Amino acid sequence: MTSLVLSTATRFLLPLMLLFSLFLLLRGHNDPGGGFVGGLVAATGFVLYALAYGVEAAQRVLRVHPRVLIAIGLLCALGSGALACMSGQPFLTGLWSGYEIPVLGKVGTPLVFDVGVYVMVVGVTLLIIFSLAEE
């Protein structure tokens, strides 16, 4: 069963939800929000797309298998902690660059960790939902 209203709304909502999830991600290293909440919003956009068009169509739009996203997210989060270890500090100690980016401010390992959490949450959520929807 396909709904014209749901499929039309999904085409507009998916890009908006992805943009809002990036806003939550980038806002989160200084204010409430961050990788977990942003990842859930992004995954919700793809789940909505899967409800409207089917799981196969959502996987084509995603272009990457959710397991790959989980691996990339874990490597990114662990890499942010390993940078502190390489500089002789405890694991997951925050390190910041000397440069300031206009929208983000000072970029450091907390942002890299948040990006890893974001990607991992998207991967885990979509793997669970897509597996349940295929059954």
**pLDDT on residue 130:** 95
Please list the rounded mean pLDDT of every run of 10 residues in the chain (135 residues).
86 96 84 86 96 94 96 95 90 85 80 93 97 86
Contact predicate 22/118, CB 8 Å: no
Least Cα distance to 42 among 132, 115, 107, 131 occurs for: 115
Question: Is 123:73 a contact under the CB 8 Å cutoff?
Answer: yes
Can you give the pTM of this predicted structure?
0.91
